[in-house]
Structure 1
Amino acid sequence: MKIDILGVQAFVAIADHGSFNKAADVLHVTQTAVTQRLRNLEIFLGVTLLERTTRSIALTRTGQDFLPQARRLLQELSAALTEIHETGKAQRGDVSIACIPTAGVRYLPQVIRDYSALFPDNRIKILDHASVGVAEAVLRREAEFGINLAGPNHPELTATPLLQDQFVLVCRDDHALARRKSVTWAQLQSHPLIFAGQASGNRALLDGYLGSESLHGGQGDQGGQAGLSLQIHYEVQRNSTALGLVEAGIAAAIVPNLAMQKGTYPRLRVIKLQGPVISRTLVLVARKAARLSPAAQILYDMIKNSRVVK
């Protein structure tokens, strides 16, 4: 149903000031405009709100019943518009962001801490998803923007590079490689490994560098490392699961460096991987046609300005 706000304004102004002429002055329009607005409202409602003669104006019974409701409607509308205006000026409001889990472990918390210090009343909803889920959450408007892995981009999304995150070997302090500062992929061939599962965006990236055959105990394909054959004994979808298995002494794991939160696992060691060095790029994604809320725009800009791409 269409709400005739102009007609309601005209009706209340006439009732409050007792004449069409004074109502026109208050609304800064002509008397003819006030008369037409009231007429349109009465036609829309199918009732007569005012009885008017050449000398007086009186509310009908229906008009008397409607007047307090009309005043309340205008007051609530005014309050709502004022709140939106002030919220925009003050950059207040709720923010919803989607991100891959590793971004929520080490990268995002630093920015959230700074943002919360500036806007302590703003509430932030963080949706941690796999890379496919991040894109879907932004496209479905469940999140205003997100932090995702770089890759084939949806035509409705923009992607701004944030940082490079190298893959590392994580093992327990009693592992045979624990004292090494760096190892090559070839030196891992004799060790059981925990790896990202097929549904993980990390797995697709590693497959591209090393060759899918290398990760299935084969001899490497033309796009990967010739002769490389890794022992993938365990596959997981979450890096946190991989780290838990390493902590239990099950095997060593290949994870992004951001997955390791300092001090969380005292017995775990992080070892650089070389030959080749493999990194993934984290990107800030948003809908191309999106106009972020003021509160979200500030957080978006803070994340964007904090990026470190090497």
Structure 2
Amino acid sequence: MKIDIIGVQAFVAIADHGGFQKAADVLNITQTAITQRLRHLEDFLGVTLIERTTRSVGLTTIGEDFLPRARRLLQELSAALTEIRETGKAQRGDVSVACVPTAGIQYLPAIIQEYSARYPENRIKILDHSSFGVAQAVLRREAEFGINVATASHPELVSTPLVEDQFVLICRDDHPVARAASLTWAQLEGHALIFAGQVNGNRPLRDSLLGGTADIGPMPVALQAHYEVQRSSTAVGLVAAGIAAAVVPKLAMQSGAYPRLRVIPLLDPVISRTLALVVRKGARLSPAAQVLHDLILARSLEGERSQKGVTSSNGARKKARVKRASKA
């Protein structure tokens, strides 16, 4: 049913100000316009709300009954519109975000901490899903946006790279390789390993780069996946219990959470995955979600600039060492 708000507004103004001309002046419209608005409302309702004579204007019985409800309707509508407008200006509201679990371990906490300091009244709902689940949550509008493992993009999603997350080996301090500063993939041969299962977005990436049992350099590498889990956090727990070593994304390890665990970079080749920010094409985020979305992107750009600075600094030091050596 179509609700004639402007007709209701005209009716209340005429009743409150006692005439068509005064009501028209208050609403900043012509007397003809306010007369037409009232007539349309009465035609729609099928009743007469105001009795008009050449000398006076008065409410009918139905008009008197309707007036307090009409006032309440306009007041509630005005309050609702004001609340929405103020919420938009202040970026207030609830935010739902989907993410792969590892993003919630190291990447998101600092960003959420900063966001919560700025907007303490806003609530954040985090849906931690598999890579497929993150995409589905965004597509179904269960989450306004998501942080996912960058893979072949869904046609209805827009993906923006955020951070590179290198695969590492984690093991307990009593493991035979625990003292290694780094390892090649070939050096993992013969060790029982824990890998992520098919539901986890890390497994397809590992298989595509290593080929399951692939060639790394001149020698074939046969990795012994004794255990498969769906989440990297489960792998971390198994390693802490001394079950085996595990290949996980570096972000899966929370700093200081497991003092006995060692994180060892894997080389030849260095394998990493990309975490990406995903949103629906053409989506208009709520003000509260837009601020969080932009903050995540800003932190990503800061990380890129910081990494470039480190790389440039290392390059300069290397050139200086070469120059000193050549002089010697």
- Contact 1:208–1:224 (CA<8 Å) still a contact in 2? no
TM-superposition CA deviations, 1:36-60 (whole Å, max 9, x none): 1111111111111111111111111
Query: Does residue 1:147 correspond to 2:147, yes or no?
Result: yes
Amino acid at match of 1:280: R
How many residue pairs are counted as aligned between the two chains?
303
**Residue 306 of structure 1: SS of its match in structure 2?**
helix
What per-residue deviation string (whole Å, max 9, x for no partner) do you get for residues 237-279 of structure 1? 0111101111111110000000000111111111110111100
Structure 2 match to 1:293: 286
The 1-side partners of 2:14 and 2:290 are apart by 43
Matches within 5 A, 1:154-233: 154-212=154-212, 214=213, 220=214, 227-233=220-226
CA distance in 2, matches of 1:241, 1:287: 30
Residue 299 of structure 1: SS of its match in structure 2? helix
Moved more, 154-163 or 70-79: 154-163
Structure 1 residues 246 and 14: CA distance shift in structure 2, 3 A:
same
Give the corresponding residue for 1:243. 236
Across the aligned residues of Structure 1 and Structure 2, the Cα RMSD in angstroms comes to 1.5
Specify the alignment match of 1:120 in structure 2: 120
Residue in 2 that maps onto 1:302: 295
Residue correspondence of structure 1 range 122-137 to structure 2 within 5 A: 122-137=122-137
Query: Higher helix fraction: Structure 1 or Structure 2?
Result: 2
- Segments of 4+ in structure 1 off by > 2 A? 223-226
Unaligned runs of 5+ in 2: 308-328
More displaced, 43-52 or 4-13?
A: 43-52
Give the distance between the partners of 1:107 and 1:224, measured in 2 at CA. 33
1:64 aligned partner:
64
Q: Counterpart of 1:118 in structure 2: which amino acid?
A: R
1:226 shift after superposition: 5.7
**What is the alpha-carbon distance in structure 1 between the residues aligned to residue 161 and residue 198 of structure 2?**
24
Q: Which residue of 1 aligns with 2:266?
A: 273
For 1:295, give the aligned amino acid.
A
Report the TM-score when normalising by structure 2.
Answer: 0.90
CA distance in 2, matches of 1:32, 1:157: 51
Q: Secondary structure at the match of 1:235?
A: strand
Per the TM alignment, residue 87 of structure 1 is displaced from its structure 2 partner at its CA by 1.0
Letter in 1 for 2:294: D
Identity within the alignment, % = 72
Is the Cα contact below 8 Å between 1:211 and 1:224 reproduced in 2? no
Letter in 2 for 1:238: R
The question of 1:106 aligning with 2:106 is answered yes
Instruction: Find out whether 1:73 has 2:66 as its counterpart.
Output: no
- In the alignment, residue 199 of structure 1 is paired with which amino acid? V
With structure 1 as the length reference, what TM-score do the two structures score? 0.95
Question: Offset of 1:225 from its aligned partner?
Answer: 8.3
- Structure 1 position 17 matched with structure 2 position 10: no
Deviations 1:73-102 (A, max 9, x none): 000000011111111111111111111111
Q: Tell me the SS of whatever aligns to 1:29.
A: coil
Q: Distance in 2 between matches of 1:108 and 1:193?
A: 28
Equivalent in the alignment of 1:37: 37
What SS is found at the alignment partner of 1:64? helix
What is the alpha-carbon distance in structure 1 between the residues aligned to residue 295 and residue 238 of structure 2? 35
What SS does the aligned partner of 1:15 have?
A: helix
Partner of 1:265, secondary structure, is coil
Q: Structure 1 residue 53 and structure 2 residue 53: aligned?
A: yes
2:8 maps to 1:8: yes
Structure-2 separation of matches of 1:29 and 1:140 = 45
Residues 87-125 of structure 1 show CA distances to partners (whole Å, capped at 9, x for unaligned) of 111111111111111111111000111111111111111
* Distance in 1, Cα, partners of 2:219 & 2:180: 24
The answer to whether residue 249 in structure 2 is matched with residue 256 in structure 1 is: yes
Following superposition, the deviation at residue 300 of structure 1 comes to: 0.8
Q: Deviations over 1:161-185 (max 9, x none)?
A: 1110000000111111111111111
| 3-state SS, counterpart of residue 29 of structure 2 | coil
Q: In 1, distance between residues paired with 2:229 and 2:181?
A: 25
Please state how far the C-alpha of 1:67 moved relative to its aligned partner: 0.4
